[in-house]
């Protein structure tokens, strides 16, 4: 089981040292950002969103309860809310209440607003957070009509989420880019050493090989350079030895050829005489 899992991991991992090193450096940064983001949204953003939504629904519930009192001046109440609570409230008499609610279950803002409105106005509310960019459209059923309420999204959505996402994303990208630059500088000497070894193995002349990089890589490069020089000296000595042997063998062979040629010429002279 572990052998198969080990082979599977080896197959999906990149084969080059640079990309493996990048994964080793980038994975902790990405995991740390994910953990911080989850903790932030769970402990800060979502709780702040719930508290702000509960406060807003309480204000709407207060408006609704005061508005139901027949002894109050309804126009004055609406004017006060529009002036002091950053609301735009209107009474729509004899208007049909919408049945369907546009739902976004993936949105924490929509979930919190739906939960609080359901507890305060069961089956008598409707809201829309998508039609307007910065405004939430809310309808509360009232007698034969409805209360139409507009309020800014900032009242239920903390604005620090975007700033947090920006600050958690940009430093991570910057750190990964810095890591890429350093990793390239660290892997370049290894690539140069591999290329030099490949060229030397093919019999090509390696000119001015300079060890660079970390201490271990420099040590390996120095040892390779010393080995290359020793092998080059050995090859030169062997070539010189073979050249000397061929020269020494060439002299007696030339003499034998000359003597054979002279013998053949003497036999021809005797035959002609």
What are the Cα distances from residue 266, in Å, to 50, 114, 199, 256, 259? 124, 126, 58, 15, 11
Percent of the chain whose pLDDT exceeds 70: 78
pLDDT of 257 > 70? The answer is no
**HSE-up (13 A, CA, CB side) for residue 81:** 25
User: At 103, phi and psi to the nearest 5?
Assistant: -105, 135
Beta bridge partners of 140: 125, 147
pLDDT of 111 > 80? The answer is yes
Domain 25-158 in CATH 2.170.120.12? The answer is no
Collapsed DSSP state (helix, strand, coil) of residue 102? coil
pLDDT at 77: 75
The residue that leads in pLDDT, 247 or 144, is 144
Mean pLDDT over residues 11-17, rounded?
74
Using CA atoms, how far apart are residues 239 and 57, in angstroms rounded to an integer? Answer: 96
Could you tell me which of 58, 53, 62 has the C-alpha nearest to residue 113? Answer: 53
Q: How far is CA 229 from the centre of its chain?
A: 44
> What six digits make up the tokens of 251?
């002299």
pLDDT of 272 > 50? The answer is no
Mean pLDDT over residues 97-112, rounded?
74
Is residue 269 very low, low, confident or very high in pLDDT (cuts 50, 70, 90)?
Answer: very low
Do 228 and 206 form a contact (C-beta atoms < 8 A)? yes
Using CA atoms, how far apart are residues 256 and 243, in angstroms rounded to an integer? Answer: 20
pLDDT of 57 > 60? The answer is yes
The residue that leads in pLDDT, 79 or 175, is 175
Please provide the size of the chain in residues: 273
Element housing 64 (H / E): helix 46-68
Sign of CA pseudo-dihedral 33, 51, 117, 156: negative
Mean pLDDT over residues 49-70, rounded?
82
Which span out of 63-67, 140-144, 172-176, 251-255 was modeled with the highest average pLDDT? Answer: 172-176
> What six digits make up the tokens of 184?
């390239």
User: At 128, phi and psi to the nearest 5?
Assistant: -140, 120
Mean pLDDT over residues 69-90, rounded?
75
Residue with tokens 């004899």: 94
pLDDT at 262: 63
Percent of the chain whose pLDDT exceeds 90: 0
């Amino acid at each position: 089981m572990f052998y198969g899992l080990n082979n599977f991991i080896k197959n999906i991992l990149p084969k080059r040292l640079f990309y493996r090193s990048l994964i080793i450096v980038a994975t902790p940064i990405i995991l740390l950002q994910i953990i911080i983001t989850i903790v932030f949204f769970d402990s800060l953003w979502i709780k702040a969103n719930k508290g702000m939504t509960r406060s807003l629904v309480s204000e709407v519930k207060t408006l609704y309860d005061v508005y139901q009192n027949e002894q109050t001046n309804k126009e004055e109440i609406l004017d006060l809310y529009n002036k002091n609570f950053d609301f735009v409230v209107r009474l729509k008499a004899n208007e049909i209440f919408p049945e369907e609610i546009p739902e976004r279950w993936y949105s924490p803002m929509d979930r919190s607003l739906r939960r609080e409105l359901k507890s305060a106005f069961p089956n008598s509310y409707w809201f829309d957070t998508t039609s307007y960019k910065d405004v939430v459209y809310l309808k509360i059923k009232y007698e034969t009509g409805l209360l139409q309420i507009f309020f800014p999204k900032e009242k239920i959505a903390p604005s620090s989420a975007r700033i947090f996402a920006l600050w958690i994303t940009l430093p991570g990208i910057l750190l990964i880019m810095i890591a890429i630059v350093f990793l390239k500088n660290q892997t370049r000497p290894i690539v140069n050493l591999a290329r030099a070894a490949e060229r030397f193995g093919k019999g090509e002349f390696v000119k001015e090989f300079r060890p660079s990089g970390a201490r271990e890589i420099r040590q390996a490069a120095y040892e390779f350079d010393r080995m290359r020089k020793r092998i080059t000296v050995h090859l030169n000595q062997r070539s010189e030895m073979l050249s000397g042997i061929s020269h020494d063998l060439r002299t007696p062979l030339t003499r034998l050829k000359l003597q054979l040629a002279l013998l053949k010429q003497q036999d021809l002279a005797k035959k002609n005489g």
